[in-house]
Amino acid sequence: MSNPLLQYLPDRHDEAWKYTKCDVLTKHDFKLATSTDFVEIDGVPEGVLVLPLAEAFIQHEDKTKPYFGQVMQATHGFHRFNDELFQSGLFIYVPEGVQVTEPLTLKHTKLGINEMHVLRHLVVAERDSMLNLVETYREVSDAPAFTNVVTEIMLMSEAKVTHTKLIESGKQAFHVGDVFVRQKQNSHFESHSLFLSGQWVRSDTTVKLEEKGAHCLMNGIYLPSDDEHIDHHTKVEHAVAACTSSQDYKGIISDKARAVFNGKVVVLEGAMQTEAKQYNKNVLLSKDAEIDTKPELQIFADDVVCAHGATVGQLDEEALFYLASRGIDAELAHKYLIQAFLADNISYLKALDVGEAIEKCLMEHME
């Protein structure tokens, strides 16, 4: 058994892995990649520091040490795996007052057969700074491969960070990704996740709102087809008063694909005037498609406004008939209704510099 991953796999009784079994990973003989040149950087904005994490540990110990491993909250085997075995990654530092809107894109490159990439990124956005970070995973190869990535993001007060993650992987791509976020006073974090394809994808987003006035928006679209499996786990912790969070995840599941959504909002004692929303809506396009959705609220404070909900349904028959009665064929009618279902999520993307490119990619995928 040469696959180094095996000893780290979460226990099959672990509730967080109930619907996403790791057994599939044992069927492949994954090996750590020998090259560590995994990430292509597109457009480093002026004033932003971007360098390999290993170099940053030496050159910028003062900026990395207080945060590395301090944003992450390790809870399962993949976290330990990443901590012990990460091969490369970037340190991204936005100094105080530096505000850039043009995107900084990290393109994660193609993997070889049975190759495993283990990455760790650390992002620090200093006071009153702004960053628009995009991570893309678009392996064209259909060979089996595994990516594990942990991204730690620290937002100091008044900082604004947008993190967009696009996965459009090959049919045998396995991916376990974590985004951990800590937010200081009045900071603003947006997460946009677009998971268009991939054999087996697990994504966790964990946000801690730890000073008043912090706000986060989490926007997700997932479109698994064939026998793909896509799992989103989110956790937003309201640790102090007067923070707001909003989650809107939507899935369109076709063929024999399966999706999982588990969202947790935790409002700690004393976190009054919290406003938290969490929605997960799903459309099943075939009778074999499956979604396991579980929104959770844990509230330990008074005077809070929290709302959550999950829905599962099909495309609206009346709307399909309306379009058909106008001579529009079934394929385009489906596309229209999917566009309508995702309209809010797509409108969040329009506000971004990268929104248009990602929306185009989404539309192409739906063709």
DSSP string, 273-300: T-EEEEEEEEEE-STT-EEEEEEEEEE-
- Closest distance of CB 331 from other proteins, Å: 10
H-only helix segments in 179-246 = none
**67 and 154 Cβ atoms separated by less than 8 Å:** yes
Q: Which two tokens stand for residue 62?
A: 């003062």
Task: Compare residues 39 and 323 and give the one whose CB is closer to other proteins.
Answer: 323
Task: Compare residues 209 and 342 and give the one whose CB is closer to other proteins.
Answer: 342
- Closest distance of CB 249 from other proteins, Å: 17
Question: Residues binding other proteins: what is the number (CB under 8 A)?
Answer: 23
**358 and 137 Cβ atoms separated by less than 8 Å:** no
Give Cβ neighbours of residue 34 (< 8 Å, ≥ 6 apart).
none
- Closest distance of CB 251 from other proteins, Å: 16
Distance CA(31)–CA(2), nearest Å, equals: 8
Task: Compare residues 300 and 321 and give the one whose CB is closer to other proteins.
Answer: 321
Q: Which two tokens stand for residue 365?
A: 């995928």
- Closest distance of CB 10 from other proteins, Å: 38
Task: Compare residues 70 and 347 and give the one whose CB is closer to other proteins.
Answer: 347
Exposure string for 301-314, b = 16+ CB within 10 A, e = fewer: beebebebebebee
- Closest distance of CB 216 from other proteins, Å: 24
Binding mask 287-316 for other proteins (x = CB under 8 A): -----------------------------x
- Closest distance of CB 343 from other proteins, Å: 3
Q: How far is CA 293 from CA 57, 91, 248, 249, 280, in A?
A: 40, 34, 13, 11, 8
Task: Compare residues 46 and 318 and give the one whose CB is closer to other proteins.
Answer: 318
**168 and 196 Cβ atoms separated by less than 8 Å:** yes
Q: Which two tokens stand for residue 364?
A: 């192409």
- Closest distance of CB 332 from other proteins, Å: 6
Give the residue carrying structure tokens 């959504």: 261
Query: What is residue 18's three-state secondary structure?
Result: coil
**Which amino acid is present at 311?**
T
* Vertex 337: Cα angle to 170 and 162 (nearest 5): 55
- Site membership for other proteins, residue 351 (CB under 8 A): no
Binding mask 311-350 for other proteins (x = CB under 8 A): -----xxxx-xxxxxxxxxx-x---xx-xxxxx--x----
Distance CA(360)–CA(137), nearest Å, equals: 16
- Closest distance of CB 167 from other proteins, Å: 22
Task: Compare residues 306 and 366 and give the one whose CB is closer to other proteins.
Answer: 366
Task: Compare residues 106 and 362 and give the one whose CB is closer to other proteins.
Answer: 362
Task: Compare residues 54 and 320 and give the one whose CB is closer to other proteins.
Answer: 320
Give contact residues for other proteins (rule: CB under 8 A).
316-319, 321-330, 332, 336-337, 339-343, 346
